[in-house]
Chains A and B, each alone.
Chain A
Amino acid sequence: MATEADGHSEGGLVFHPMDQFIVKPLFGDGAVGMFTFTNVALWLVLAVICVIALMVLGTSKRATVPTRTQSVAELAYGFIYKMVEDVTGKDAVKYFPYIFTLFLFILFSNFLALIPMSFSPTSHIAVTAVLGFGVFIAVTILGFVKNGASFLSLFWVSSAPLALRPVLAIIEIISYFVRPVSHSIRLAGNIMAGHAVLKVFAGFAAITAVAPLAIFGIIGIYALEVLVSFIQAYVFTILTCVYLKDALHPHH
C-alpha cells in the first residue's frame, strides 16, 4: 500500500502483474548469460529434487502397507502407466519412463510455483518449448526409425476420397509442424495467465474498499490454479502419448 509510485503504477496497480516473470540472476545482478544461475534454474532444480525425493523416498521401503509418500508415488506411477497403455498401446510401454518423467517434472514445477513468492519456470515459453520440441523431435525421429518412409502415410489420409487427399496432406503437414508450438505454449500460456490473474487480484487487495472481495477472489483463483496445474501436466503428458501413438502406428 505504502510502496506505491515506484515506477510500476502505470496500470493503476501497486505492482505490475507481469513483474513476477522477470528472469534475474540469483547471485549478483549482472546480465543473464548462457550459464548464469537464475531464479528459473533454481526452481527447475527444486522441481527435479522433489521428483527424485518423491520416487526415492516413496519406493525405498517397499512396504506392503504403503506410507503416505509411497502411496502417492504408486498412485502417480499407476496413473501414468495406465494412460500410456490405454492411449499409446502396449508396445509403447518402453517409452513410459520418459513420459512419466515429463509428467512428474511438469507437475512439480507447476505445484512449486504455487508457493507464494516462488517463481514459475513453466510460465516461460523458453522452458516449455524445450520440453515440447524435445517431444516433437524425439517422436519424429522415432517415427522414421520404426516405420521408415511409410511414416509419411500419416499425412496421406487413405480413408478420404482421392481428390481430397492432396489438400488434406497439406493441412496434415501444417498441423504436424504446429504441434510443438501449441504443445508448449498451451502449458506456458495457462500457467502464466493464471499467475498473472492471481497478481491482478493481489493488486486489488491493496485497495481497502474491495479488499475482502479480492481476498475471496484470490482463494477461488488459487484453488482453480491448483486444478489447472494438474490438468496442464496431464494434458501435456496425454498429448505426448497421442503424438507417440502417431509415430508408432501412422496408419489411420
Chain B
Amino acid sequence: MEGDLAHIGAGLAAIGSGAAAIGVGNVAGNYLAGALRNPSAAASQTATLFIGIAFAEALGIFAFLVSLLLMFAV
C-alpha cells in the first residue's frame, strides 16, 4: 500500500466517526440520566432514543462515506 494523499485524507475523514461517537454518547447518556430521574417514563421514549442515535450517527456515516470514496473511488 503506497502512501498517497488520498489515504491521508481518508484517515482524516475517519476523525468524523469520533465526532459521531461523541454525539451518540451524548444522546444515550442524557437518555440514561433522564431515565434514572423518571424511570416510569423511560420505556415510552426508547423509540425516540433510537431515532436520536440514528440521526447523530448519520453524520458519522457521511464521514465514513467520504473515507470510503477516498480509498476506493479516487
Contact = CB atoms under 8 A, between A and B. Distances in A.
B1 A182 contact: no
A11 B58 CA distance: 29
Contacts of B62: 182
Interface residues of B, number: 12
Interface in A1-52: 10-11
Most buried by A among B47, B57, B62: B47
Nearest to B62: A182
A83 B47 contact: yes
A242 B61 CA distance: 19
Interface stretch (A58-66, A103-111, A231-239): A231-239
B47 A87 contact: yes
A234 B54 CA distance: 11
Contact of B58 (A87, A186, A193, A234): A186
B42 to A, nearest CB: 15
B51 interface: yes
A10 B2 CA distance: 10
Contacts of A185: 61, 64-65
A193 B20 CA distance: 15
Contacts of B47: 83, 86-87, 238
A186 B65 contact: no
Interface string B33-74: 000000000000001001101100110011011000000000
B60 to A, nearest CB: 9
A235 B50 contact: yes
A189 interface: yes
Contacts of B53: 235
A235 B54 contact: yes
Given A10-B1, A11-B1, A189 B51 contact: no
Contact of A189 (B50, B54, B61): B61
Contacts of A238: 47, 50-51, 54
Given A193-B64, A238-B47, A238-B54, 7 more contacts: A83-B47, A182-B61, A185-B64, A189-B64, A189-B65, A235-B53, A239-B51
Interface of A: 10-11, 83, 86-87, 182, 185-186, 189, 193, 231, 234-235, 238-239, 242
For the complex of A and B, 7 pairs with smallest distance between CB atoms? A182-B58, A235-B54, A189-B61, A185-B61, A189-B64, A10-B1, A186-B61
Interface of B: 1, 47, 50-51, 53-54, 57-58, 61-62, 64-65
22 contacts: A11-B1, A86-B47, A87-B47, A182-B58, A182-B61, A182-B62, A185-B61, A185-B64, A185-B65, A186-B54, A186-B57, A186-B58, A186-B61, A189-B61, A189-B64, A231-B50, A235-B50, A235-B54, A238-B47, A238-B54, A239-B51, A239-B54
